[in-house]
Structures are given as C-alpha cells and as structure tokens.
C-alpha cells in the first residue's frame, strides 16, 4: 500500500504530481491511500512520499479532466483524492470516459465540481463586507462559511470588484486578505469564535496582524500545513516581529532604493545639508518631475508637486493626488480640495498663504473601465517619496505642519500614527511642530448627514488649533 501525504486539503498540485507518478508506475487505485499532512508530521521524515521515479513514458488526460479535478478537489468529500485518481487511472485506457455520464465515478466528480461552483457563486452573491476602523485606515471585513474549500478560488473576484478597498474575508478554513496589490491567505477563524456583527471587528483585529506589511507574504510562502490549526499566538507573534523588522529596518530601505535611476533624487540627496537649504520649491518641482523612486510614475500623468508661497508658515500635507489633481498637475483641486477650501475658510486660514503638498506625489490607481480608482499608497511608496517632503520642509521651514489623514501622518512622523488617538495635539517631531487630523475625503465618504456635520466641525476645530498656533507665534515674533 502506498500512502500519499498531501500538504493540505486543497493541494491540487501535490495530488497531480503524485497521481501522475503513480499512474506511470502502474500503481492501482486500490493500492493507494491519500491523506493530508498534519502538524505533528511537519518535521517527520516519514511524511515524505517515496514515490517511484517517473519513467520516460507519457500519457495525457483531457483538459476537461484537469478543470474538473481542480474544482472537485475543493469539495469536502473525504474520498475526493481517491476518486480523482481512480478516474485518472481509467482515463488512460478510456479517453472518452468523461462523456459517460451514467458512469458512477464520472457522475460523482461532475456533481462535486457543480457543488463547488455553486458555492463560489453563493459566496460571490451573498458575502457582505462591513467597514471596520476609521478614516483612511478603514478596512472591510466579511465573515463567510463556505460549504466547500473555495476561499482561494473565490477571492480574486472580490479583488477585482473591490480593488480600491483593503478587505479581509474570514472563514473557518482560511482567511483571505487584499491590500490593493495582492491576496494573501492566513489561518481561518475557529467556528467557536464565529463573530456576531459586534464581534466581527474584534475577530478582524486579532487576525489583521501584518495586513499591510511584507511579513504577510511569508505566510503565503509557508506550506499551509505549517500554520493550519496552529494556536493563533504561535503564528501571530512571529508575524508581529517580522512586520516590525521589515517595516523599520534595512529591508524597506533596500526596497525603496531599488528602482532609482542614476540622475534621480537619491543622487540629489547626496547634496550637502547646505545645498538642501538652498533648494527652492520651483527647483525641487523641476527635479521631482522626473522622479522614479517608486513605480507609481509609470501610470500617473505627471508628478503633482506641492504649491504655495515659499514663505508659508503653515504646510498642509495630504495623501496623494487624486484623479483631478493628476490631470491638472496641482494638489487638492478635486472634490477633496473643495472640501479643504471650505474648511480652511471656516477655520479662518487663507489657502493662498499655505503651502499644500502630498506625502506621495504620483496618483496611484487601478483602471476600472473609464474610471481610475484611487489606491492607497503603501509603505515603500510613502518612504520612497518622503525625500521630497523632507526637502520641501527644509525649503519652506514652516512653523507648523498639518498632516491630513493616516498616510500623511505616516510620512510626516515617520511611523504609522493612529489619527483619532493623536489628532488635535501639537506634536514636536525632530524640531517641527506637527498636528494630525483627518483627511477631507474622509468627510466626503461619511454616509450620514449628521455624522458628516459632526466630523466636519471636529475637522474645523483641529484646523483652528493650527490657526491659533500661527497667530500666537506671529504675535510672539
Ligand atoms: N487627496 C489628497 O490627499 N491630495 C490631493 O491632492 C487630492 C486629494
């Protein structure tokens, strides 16, 4: 008897490799037992399948069989691996077997594949995301209990449909996460923890470690058997450590440096401090027009650099240009800009006297038909662009920097900074006074008029702190 140990419940590639070798060596279906590697087999040599070498002989199966097998393997039927091998075995001598719909094996595999496809349709139609978190850090979370193991196959649909929003789908088998770039898979949420509406947020918080950092990709590279069924702590702790190491250490510095070209800003940054102090905004703008420090320049229309008087005492930092700004080449001229204009006026701040810029100077988006959907910049992009903010800061020397939203706060303060915990306070950062508040587009997204009015007033209150600060320092001068 041959015991074939597959890496996990949906290990189609493992099954295919093993089945091919077995069939080529004439190992009869009745002589094979299929199992899944369990955690305690991780380091055991006995779990390695000692399959016979593949002889030169070849055989082909219809493409339709591969398609059916890929779907059927996601079915919860414990006999699926054996059934599929039996079919493969029989296909060697009966190439048209799949059209024999009255054959019990054929009927069963078709029924299993159909059940899987129905389950995927059900997930696509019924899954509902709920917004968790606030403002720019908002994340969308859904709980779903699929009948079969379909999450990995069903998830790309949601990445396409909701490309612009970071989401997580929690299920008992595995959880899928989308950060705007890639889908990653982490362990499922145990049934006993099934979150009610109230507990969804709590469940997500427990599982979101590393959602926006490179450590998450390590999870994808690990065989699922390594983390499946592990107690949460044992996987989450190393992830936190990895996340911190990767987002603060040389890893990011190296990443950010990779795409740079010889004439681009990093070379310019080798200028002395004195030279930096001599930068004028217009010289910086010219230099930034050719910035290649991250890949965002490729799809954007142009670099949208900061604008405003070089003598400004107040500097506002947003996230990145939007669709309108990308086309116009000026910051904050679209809907968020109009909201900002109104708020500045209500707070008694003259926009004409303010220097306005963004943490990231190129528009990041995904095309959806005729529309370009805004994408939140990631940490390497924010870091790659920070040199421009630093040089704008050195050129303007404002009395106060106001960071609008989470991306701006991350760039200005050099670390991820929760807005609600820090808003409205004057923070001293490397000798620069910083105030963090929400991004105006947060106000635009609020669905209810009452919340909108309330949050708008809080935004004005924050901007008034900036206005007061500037008035006081002008008086003291
Ligand atoms: N949002 C930003 O953060 N900046 C802009 O320039 C426009 C919208």
Q: Can you give the pLDDT at residue 371? A: 82
Helix (H, G, I), strand (E, B) or coil at 132: strand
CB of 332 sitting under 6 A from ligand 1: yes
Asked if residue 464 is part of any domain, the answer here is yes
* Ligand 1 centre distance from Cα of residue 159 (Å): 24
CB of 334 sitting under 6 A from ligand 1: yes
In 3D space, the residue among 272, 304, 266, 265 whose CA is nearest the CA of residue 287 turns out to be 265
Asked if residue 270 is part of any domain, the answer here is no
Q: Can you give the pLDDT at residue 368? A: 78
Residues 6+ apart with CB under 8 A from 45: none
Q: Can you give the pLDDT at residue 35? A: 93
Asked if residue 269 is part of any domain, the answer here is no
Residue 442 contacts residue 137 (beta carbons within 8 Å):
no
Q: Can you give the pLDDT at residue 53? A: 65
> For strand 174-178 and strand 183-187, is the pairing parallel, antiparallel, or unpaired?
antiparallel
Q: Tell me how far apart the alpha carbons of residues 178 and 166 are, in angstroms, rounded to a whole number.
A: 5
Q: Tell me how far apart the alpha carbons of residues 5 and 37 are, in angstroms, rounded to a whole number.
A: 6
Q: For a substitution probing ligand 1, which of 136, 307, 318 has the most ligand atoms within 8 Å of its CB? A: 318
Asked if residue 260 is part of any domain, the answer here is no
Q: Which domain holds residue 161?
A: 127-193
DSSP secondary structure string for all residues of 35-71: EE--GGGTT-GGGS--PPPP-S------HHHHHHHHH
Q: Tell me how far apart the alpha carbons of residues 78 and 9 are, in angstroms, rounded to a whole number.
A: 9
Q: For a substitution probing ligand 1, which of 334, 372, 374 has the most ligand atoms within 8 Å of its CB? A: 334
CB of 180 sitting under 6 A from ligand 1: no
Q: Can you give the pLDDT at residue 162? A: 78
Residue 437 contacts residue 463 (beta carbons within 8 Å):
yes
Residue 122 contacts residue 182 (beta carbons within 8 Å):
no
CB of 411 sitting under 6 A from ligand 1: no
Burial (Cβ within 10 Å: 0-12, 13-18, ≥19) of residue 179: buried
Give Cα 374 to chain centroid, integer Å.
Answer: 13
CB of 306 sitting under 6 A from ligand 1: no
Q: For a substitution probing ligand 1, which of 306, 326, 358 has the most ligand atoms within 8 Å of its CB? A: 358
One domain, residues 246 and 303: no
Q: Can you give the pLDDT at residue 290? A: 92
Q: Tell me how far apart the alpha carbons of residues 365 and 376 are, in angstroms, rounded to a whole number.
A: 8
CB of 440 sitting under 6 A from ligand 1: no
One domain, residues 366 and 218: no
CB of 188 sitting under 6 A from ligand 1: no
Q: Which atom of ligand 1 is nearest to the CA of 304?
A: 6
119 token code pair: 């389950």
Taking only the tens place, the pLDDT of each residue in 20-50 is 889 988 899 999 999 998 765 544 334 445 6
Domain end position, chosen among 121, 146, 171: 121
Per-residue model confidence as pLDDT tens for the chain (477 residues) = 889 999 899 999 999 989 988 998 889 999 999 999 876 554 433 444 566 666 666 778 888 999 999 999 999 999 999 999 999 999 988 888 999 989 999 999 999 999 999 999 999 988 887 776 655 567 788 889 999 999 999 999 888 887 777 888 989 999 999 888 888 988 888 766 655 555 555 555 554 433 333 333 333 333 333 233 232 333 333 333 333 333 333 222 222 223 233 233 333 333 333 344 457 999 999 999 999 999 999 999 999 999 999 999 999 999 999 999 999 999 999 999 999 999 999 999 999 999 999 999 999 998 877 788 889 999 999 999 999 999 999 999 999 999 999 999 999 999 999 999 999 899 999 999 999 999 999 999 888 888 999 999 999 999 999 999 888 877 666
Residue 93 contacts residue 23 (beta carbons within 8 Å):
no
Q: Tell me how far apart the alpha carbons of residues 100 and 121 are, in angstroms, rounded to a whole number.
A: 27
Q: Tell me how far apart the alpha carbons of residues 238 and 410 are, in angstroms, rounded to a whole number.
A: 23
Q: Is 300 left (phi over 0), alpha (psi -120 to 50) or beta?
A: beta
* Ligand 1 centre distance from Cα of residue 310 (Å): 20
Asked if residue 274 is part of any domain, the answer here is no
CB of 406 sitting under 6 A from ligand 1: no
Helix (H, G, I), strand (E, B) or coil at 317: strand
One domain, residues 346 and 453: yes
* Ligand 1 centre distance from Cα of residue 54 (Å): 59
Domain end position, chosen among 172, 193, 214: 193
Q: For a substitution probing ligand 1, which of 164, 323, 325 has the most ligand atoms within 8 Å of its CB? A: 325
Asked if residue 257 is part of any domain, the answer here is no
> In 10 A of CB 254, how many CB atoms?
10
In 3D space, the residue among 385, 367, 245, 370 whose CA is nearest the CA of residue 317 turns out to be 385
CB of 89 sitting under 6 A from ligand 1: no
343: CATH: 3.40.470.10
Q: Can you give the pLDDT at residue 189? A: 84
Q: Can you give the pLDDT at residue 141? A: 82
* Ligand 1 centre distance from Cα of residue 192 (Å): 43
One domain, residues 298 and 444: yes
CB of 322 sitting under 6 A from ligand 1: yes
> In 10 A of CB 89, how many CB atoms?
19
DSSP secondary structure string for all residues of 155-209: HHHHHHHTTTS-EEEE-SSEEEEE-SS-EEEEE---GGG---HHHHHHHHHHH-T
Domain end position, chosen among 176, 193, 210: 193
* Ligand 1 centre distance from Cα of residue 344 (Å): 15
Give Cα 435 to chain centroid, integer Å.
Answer: 27
72 token code pair: 């059927």
Asked if residue 148 is part of any domain, the answer here is yes
Q: Which atom of ligand 1 is nearest to the CA of 324?
A: 7
In 3D space, the residue among 438, 430, 463 whose CA is nearest the CA of residue 347 turns out to be 463
One domain, residues 73 and 144: no
One domain, residues 320 and 247: no
* Ligand 1 centre distance from Cα of residue 418 (Å): 19
Count of residues in the chain: 477
One domain, residues 103 and 220: no
One domain, residues 389 and 300: yes
* Ligand 1 centre distance from Cα of residue 272 (Å): 31
One domain, residues 365 and 443: yes
Asked if residue 258 is part of any domain, the answer here is no
Q: Which atom of ligand 1 is nearest to the CA of 359?
A: 3
Q: Can you give the pLDDT at residue 101? A: 86
One domain, residues 298 and 430: yes
One domain, residues 296 and 369: yes
One domain, residues 81 and 33: yes
* Ligand 1 centre distance from Cα of residue 366 (Å): 16
Q: Which atom of ligand 1 is nearest to the CA of 331?
A: 6
Degrees to nearest 5, angle at CA 141 with 339 and 366:
55
Tell me how many domains the chain contains.
4
């Amino acid at each position: 008897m041959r015991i074939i140990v597959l890496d996990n419940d949906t290990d189609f590639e493992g099954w295919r490799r093993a089945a091919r070798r077995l069939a080529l060596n004439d190992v009869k279906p009745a002589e094979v037992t299929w199992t899944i590697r369990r955690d305690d087999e991780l380091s055991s040599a006995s779990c390695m399948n000692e399959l016979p070498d593949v002889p030169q002989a070849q055989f082909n199966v219809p493409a339709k069989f591969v398609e059916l097998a890929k779907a059927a393997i996601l079915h919860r039927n414990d006999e699926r691996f054996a059934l599929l091998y039996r079919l493969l075995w029989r296909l060697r001598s009966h190439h048209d077997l799949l059209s024999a719909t009255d054959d019990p094996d054929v009927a069963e595999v078709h029924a299993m594949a159909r059940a899987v496809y129905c389950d995927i349709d059900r997930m696509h139609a019924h899954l509902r995301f709920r917004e968790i978190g606030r403002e720019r850090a908002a994340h969308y979370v859904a709980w779903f209990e699929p009948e079969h193991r379909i999450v990995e196959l069903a998830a790309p649909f949601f990445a396409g449909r909701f490309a612009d929003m970071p989401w997580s789908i929690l299920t008992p088998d595995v959880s899928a996460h989308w950060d705007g770039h890639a889908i990653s898979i982490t362990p499922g949420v145990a049934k006993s923890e099934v979150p009610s509406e109230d507990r969804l947020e709590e469940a997500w918080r427990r599982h979101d470690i590393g959602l926006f950092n490179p450590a998450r990709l390590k999870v994808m590279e690990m065989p699922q058997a390594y983390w499946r069924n592990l107690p949460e702590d044992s996987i989450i702790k190393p992830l936190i450590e990895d996340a911190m190491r990767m987002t603060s250490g040389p890893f990011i510095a190296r990443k950010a440096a990779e795409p740079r070209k010889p004439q681009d800003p990093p070379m310019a940054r080798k200028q002395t401090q004195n030279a930096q102090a001599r930068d004028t905004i217009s010289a910086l703008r010219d230099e930034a027009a050719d910035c290649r420090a991250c890949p965002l320049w490729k799809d954007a229309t142009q670099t949208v650099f900061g604008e405003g008087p070089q003598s400004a005492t107040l500097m506002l930092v947003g996230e990145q240009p939007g669709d309108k700004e990308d086309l116009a080449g000026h910051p904050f001229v679209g809907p968020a800009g109009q909201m900002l204009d109104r708020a500045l006026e209500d707070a008694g701040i003259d926009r004409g006297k303010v220097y306005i810029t963004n943490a990231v100077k190129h528009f990041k988006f995904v095309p959806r038909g005729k529309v370009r959907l805004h994408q939140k910049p990631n940490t390497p992009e924010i870091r790659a662009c920070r040199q421009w903010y630093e040089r704008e800061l050195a050129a303007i020397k404002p009395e106060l920097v106001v960071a609008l939203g989470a991306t701006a706060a991350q760039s200005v303060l050099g670390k991820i900074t929760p807005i609600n915990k820090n808003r409205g306070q004057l923070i001293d950062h490397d000798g620069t006074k910083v105030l963090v508040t929400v991004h105006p587009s947060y106000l635009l997204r609020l669905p209810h008029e009452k919340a909108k009015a309330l949050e708008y007033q809080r935004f004005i209150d924050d901007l008034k702190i900036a206005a007061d600060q500037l008035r006081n320092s002008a008086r003291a001068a």
